[in-house]
Amino acid sequence: MSDNEFPMTVLEILRILYFSEGPKTSIELAKFLKNRGIDVDPRTVRYHLFHLEERGFIKRLGRKGAKLTERGVNEIRRLLIYERIGIPSIEIEKLITDSDYDINKNKGKIMVNAIMVPKDKYDAVVPLLLDISKTNVITSPLLAILDEKDSIWHFEVKEGYVGILGISSRTYDIIFQKSGICLQSTATGLYHLENNIPKGFVEIISHLGTTISPGELLIRGGYTSVHKVASTGSGYVTAAIKTFSSFRYDDTLRILEKLKKNNISGVAEHSSIIPENKRVNVMDKNKGYLVVYGGANYFAPIVETGISKKLEIARDLYEIQKMKEPEKVLK
């Protein structure tokens, strides 16, 4: 379907529903539209909702309002394609802004990755997750389980499936920003380990020109061997490069120390200066960097063994206090 088949009002309705956490009524949508310079009454909104439902883009839930269907989500993601490119994308920006995580209290919403696994294969998933939770190539061992029909933002667990949530390495961006440090995720790559010793990157994908998470591409593309790393200490995992102003290095170390106490770690490298052979532009000479293991490494063995490919990175926010050690949630 071409972009010009949607009038501006309908496009904005789809956009509002996409960035909403739950259903919205015609009255609420009319208010949102007015704030965007489109003055229409609730009756007109209901007219548009009726036709959107006819086309399978939304589902009306009575007085609760309307929400996007899976088809509607896919359509608006296509329409927003150019707003979803780069760092940060419009979606990541929303999640960073909406997070209320407090590093000192270790409470609030943090960014999570999600994967769906068939219920009849769940028993095979448990040992994989327990094995990888004991390594340092993940952001955190904490997990949460969603049952069928449960949902977070636009990730809804389908019938016959179980949803599993793990902490995304994008959480570093949230925490540093809230601490007054501009931490930029510049690239994600394939990172080599040998006998549990980091050997460095063998491939790198810049975040500048993609709408799909590079970590997701590497895992789904079959480039990782995280399952092997968990059992032998050698193989390939995903890792992200994050940069910051060199003069904030001491503050960076203090934040990393606090995060360790909160069960968030997974830093492979850090320095106050980016070495000359690793600089990609002239501005890098004034920057420090972190290399952090991808949070999605936690779920990579599930993809690598063919159990599920329904992996979504940096999918939504979830309260960290509801997440537990794997031994407590994997039953």
CA angle 309, 220, 234 (to 5 degrees): 115
pLDDT above 70 covers what percent of the chain? 97
- Residues sharing a CB contact under 8 Å with residue 10, sequence separation 6 or more, in sequence order: 48, 52
CB count, 10 Å around CB of 237? 31
Q: Does the structure show a pLDDT above 80 at 315?
A: no
Range 3-79: architecture per CATH:
Orthogonal Bundle (1.10)
Show the tokens assigned to 246.
Answer: 């060199």
Show the tokens assigned to 47.
Answer: 């007219």
pLDDT tens for 51-91 read 999 999 999 999 899 999 989 988 998 888 877 776 567 77
pLDDT above 90 covers what percent of the chain? 73
CB count, 10 Å around CB of 319? 14
Q: Does the structure show a pLDDT above 60 at 235?
A: yes
- Do 3-79 and 86-331 fold alike per CATH? no
Identify the pLDDT of residue 87.
59
**End-to-end CA separation in angstroms for the chain:** 44
DSSP calls for 110-124: EEEEEEEEEGGGHHH
CB count, 10 Å around CB of 286? 12
Q: By the 8 A CB rule, do 160 and 151 touch?
A: no
Answer whether the bond into residue 275 is a cis peptide, omega within 30°: no
pLDDT tens for 191-204 read 999 999 999 999 99
Tell me the domain boundaries of the chain. 3-79, 86-331
Q: What whole-number distance in Å separates Cα of residue 295 and Cα of residue 275?
A: 25
pLDDT tens for 83-101 read 777 656 777 888 888 899 9
What mean pLDDT is predicted for residues 107-121? 95
Q: Does the structure show a pLDDT above 80 at 156?
A: yes
Mean pLDDT (the chain, rounded): 91
Among residues 17, 21, 30, the alpha carbon closest in space to that of 71 is found at 17
Q: Does the structure show a pLDDT above 50 at 179?
A: yes
Q: What whole-number distance in Å separates Cα of residue 161 and Cα of residue 159?
A: 6
Q: Does the structure show a pLDDT above 80 at 288?
A: yes
SS3 194: strand
Identify the pLDDT of residue 1.
46
Identify the pLDDT of residue 88.
60
pLDDT tens for 8-31 read 999 999 999 988 888 999 999 999
- pLDDT tier, 277 (very low <50, low <70, confident <90, very high otherwise): confident
- pLDDT tier, 2 (very low <50, low <70, confident <90, very high otherwise): very low
Q: By the 8 A CB rule, do 49 and 171 touch?
A: no
Q: Does the structure show a pLDDT above 70 at 299?
A: yes
Give CATH superfamily name and number for 86-331. mj0159-like (3.30.70.1360)
- pLDDT tier, 4 (very low <50, low <70, confident <90, very high otherwise): low
